[in-house]
Amino acid sequence: MSLTGMNPILMTIPESFESERLIIRAPLYGDGAAVNEAIIESIEELRPWMPWANKIPTIEESEINVRQSRLEFLERTDLRLLLFHKETGRLVGSSGLHRMDWQARNFETGYWVRTSYEGQGYITEAVEAITNFAIQELEANRIEIRCDARNKRSANVAERSGFTLEGILRSEKRAADGSLRDTRIYSKVRGVEF
Ligand SMILES: CC(C)(COP(=O)(O)OP(=O)(O)OC[C@H]1O[C@@H](n2cnc3c(N)ncnc32)[C@H](O)[C@@H]1OP(=O)(O)O)[C@@H](O)C(=O)NCCC(=O)NCCS
């Protein structure tokens, strides 16, 4: 059955799938401690780009955040996905499909990596798997990546994963340091990139 027009709450969406080295799954109650540990390890790298990283969260705050993400996943209002290393079970980072338009089947993906797993291709691997998940399970027509134009590592992920740069929105947002930032918009659309 085509998903177009269906209330997304009725959709059966797998909560877990795999890539070569990762288990990619919806957050579960109890994931807060692992998320908190990864954020604390990575806070200096996260701070310039992620507005929520301006202060170190407590374990309880991370658990609240994970539980809220789980509820949003079940409501289909935001599909956060945590990335776990298959071999060790450690949390590698966080990604997901956000700011969706279920009518148009548009999704935005975002990501951060735990610092000890940076530079090893895990995020590119996750973005490719999540993009395929969106295409196959959610009938995506468009998947978008937005990043601060100064965030070269993030732009590299988009480009390495075969996204096309559509444009740059000038002075579009306040960056974490209070400066105005330009935003690079990348996408993959049905009929062109897939
Ligand atoms: C943006 C961010 C997720 C990118 O992480 P990353 O580790 O550079 O990305 P990947 O996991 O895809 O790794 C790519 C790197 O691994 C290398 N690599 C090693 N093995 C690889 C493999 N099998 N496949 C692909 N790349 C591989 C690549 O050459 C690349 O190295 P380089 O940075 O020296 O060019 C990370 O910098 C981050 O979390 N930043 C803070 C949060 C943030 O900015 N998020 C994005 C907001 S828009």
Domain residue ranges of the chain, discontinuous segments joined by +? 8-144
Statement: 8-144 belongs to CATH 3.40.630.30:
yes
Token duo for residue 175: 């960056």
Q: How many CB atoms lie within 10 A of CB 70?
A: 18
Q: Is 48 in the pocket of ligand 1 (CB under 6 A)?
A: no
Mean of pLDDT over the chain: 96
* Residue 165 bridge partners (DSSP): 186
**Cβ 25 vs Cβ 126: under 8 Å:** no
What is the per-residue pLDDT across 133-145, written as a single tens digit (0 to 9) for each?
Answer: 999 999 999 999 9
- Examine the pLDDT at 2 and tell me if it is beyond 60: no
Q: Is 161 in the pocket of ligand 1 (CB under 6 A)?
A: no
Interval between CA 108 and ligand 1 midpoint (Å): 18
| Percent of the chain scoring above 70 in pLDDT | 98
Tell me the average pLDDT across 154-161: 98
DSSP state of 46: H
Interval between CA 103 and ligand 1 midpoint (Å): 32
Residue 9 CA to residue 122 CA, distance in Å, equals 30
**Cβ 135 vs Cβ 191: under 8 Å:** no
Where does the pLDDT of residue 4 fall: very low under 50, low under 70, confident under 90, or very high at 90 and above? low
Provide the phi-psi class of 50: left if phi over 0, else alpha when psi is between -120 and 50, else beta: beta
Residue 79 CA to residue 71 CA, distance in Å, equals 10
- Examine the pLDDT at 1 and tell me if it is beyond 50: no
Q: Is 59 in the pocket of ligand 1 (CB under 6 A)?
A: no
Q: Is 113 in the pocket of ligand 1 (CB under 6 A)?
A: yes
pLDDT value at residue 6:
80
- Name the residue of 112, 114, 152 whose CB sits within 8 Å of the most ligand 1 atoms, as the mutation to test its pocket: 112
- Name the residue of 39, 43, 94, 123 whose CB sits within 8 Å of the most ligand 1 atoms, as the mutation to test its pocket: 123
pLDDT value at residue 173:
96
What is the per-residue pLDDT across 103-132, written as a single tens digit (0 to 9) for each?
Answer: 999 999 999 999 999 999 999 999 999 999
